Structure 1
Amino acid sequence: MIELSASRPGDGRDTRKLLAYWLGLQDGRTVPKRADIDPRRIEGLLSDTFILERIAPGLARFRVAGANLAELMGMDVRGMPVSSFINPEGREAFAGALARLFEEPATVQLDLVSASGFGQPKLTGRMLLLPLRSDLGDVSRAIGCLVADGRPGRVPRRFDVARMRVAPVDGGPVEVRRPEPAPRPVPVKRGPPHLRLVTSN
């Protein structure tokens, strides 16, 4: 069972809405397609929402990202690895979660904390990562949401992972279909040899 803790009361940028939307897209499939995403259905979350592309095991980059992510980083994050928001000490564990996101596939939920510093108030936040299929059918895309509570102050802001939850998608791992073996040639059945009587006069 996938469970999300509630966000701030009255906060329209609720990661539970993204999860509910993604679950509604499954329609009997374990993982929806990237092409199924309709931004109009998650309009209230768009500034915090992003699309990831898997580029290597444990590594994914932003394809699309909302304005609030650019505000946290101080620049456009498109093309950057999603691990840019994680402090170096937590990136190895985060890479393991990303690998499971695409390979099992699984959902990933993170509780985040960014310590206070000069010109930087303490920030808490939540990140949700949900797997998607590409147009080719492989699980190499993900939709996600990063919601930070409060103003970022001096940027860039990076986070420690206070809690990480990785849950396999219901239905188990995605089946990998192997090519069907080539059919064996059917042997030609030959009857017993015929004897022919040859006479000479």
Structure 2
Amino acid sequence: MVLEISDDRLRRLYAYWSQKKGARRVPSRADIAPEEITDILPWVMLMERVGTRIRYRLVGDGFRQIYGDKLLGMYLDEIDLDHITAAYIEEYERAARDLVPVARKWTFTKLNGRHLEYERLILPLAPDDKTVNMFLTGAVGFGFG
């Protein structure tokens, strides 16, 4: 599988995740040190699996500006994703199920009329190299208004 990542910040996040996992399939949350990626932290989110749902545990200021709302503590199924909610959540499920990174560009319009275009990278994290409990996610806007 070829992962297509066009944004340099997301490519750096992917390289960091790859370096942290080493020979394992995925790194754990304990392997991630925010002070090692300070230049890209504004576009980084830490997502956690809570049962069958996914919650925003940390949201960088850069992404918060792209999305336009406070997301911290909210679940993916609670936020305004227009008509793409199921597909959006499925990408996290695929990353967890297959232990693979997932990258994609998204375009949609929120209920308040705000148009969003951004590239997102989902990187699974697992304490035991098989059961994903968190995601290191990066999202960078390439056009929004």
Q: TM-score range by the shorter chain?
A: 0.7 to 0.9
Does the alignment pair 1:37 with 2:26?
Answer: no
Could you say if the C-alpha distance between residues 117 and 61 of structure 1 is closer, same or farther in structure 2, counting changes exceeding 3 Å?
A: closer
Does the alignment pair 1:5 with 2:12?
Answer: no
C-alpha separation between the residues in 1 aligned to 2:129 and 2:121? 24
C-alpha separation between the residues in 2 aligned to 1:47 and 1:17? 13
Aligned CA RMSD, in angstroms, stands at 2.8
1:69 to 44, 63, 73: 63
1:42 deviates by 1.5
1:101 to 95, 98, 106: 95
The one-character-per-residue Cα deviations of 1:103-129 (angstroms, maximum 9, x if unpaired) are 222222121124599885x54210110
Amino acid across the alignment from 2:22 = D
Could you say if the C-alpha distance between residues 118 and 55 of structure 1 is closer, same or farther in structure 2, counting changes exceeding 3 Å?
A: closer
Bigger RCO (CA 8 Å, 6+ sep): 2
1:47 deviates by 0.6
The one-character-per-residue Cα deviations of 1:144-165 (angstroms, maximum 9, x if unpaired) are 0110125x54xxxxxxxxxxxx
1:85 deviates by 5.6
Q: Is contact 2:28–2:129 with CA below 8 Å preserved after alignment? A: no
Residue 102 of structure 1 aligns to a residue whose secondary structure is helix
Does the alignment pair 1:28 with 2:23?
Answer: yes
C-alpha separation between the residues in 1 aligned to 2:135 and 2:44? 11
1:80 maps to 74
The one-character-per-residue Cα deviations of 1:47-67 (angstroms, maximum 9, x if unpaired) are 11011101233x311111101
C-alpha separation between the residues in 2 aligned to 1:85 and 1:135? 33
Residue 38 of structure 2 aligns to a residue whose secondary structure is helix
Amino acid across the alignment from 1:143 = L
1:94 deviates by 2.2
1:55 maps to 50
Please identify which structure carries the higher helix content. Answer: 2
What is the TM-score when the length of structure 2 is the normalising length?
0.82
Please identify which structure carries the higher strand content. Answer: 2
The one-character-per-residue Cα deviations of 1:61-83 (angstroms, maximum 9, x if unpaired) are 11111012322344431111235
Count of residues in Structure 1 that have an aligned counterpart in Structure 2: 144
The one-character-per-residue Cα deviations of 1:18-62 (angstroms, maximum 9, x if unpaired) are 0111011111110101011111222111011011101233x3111
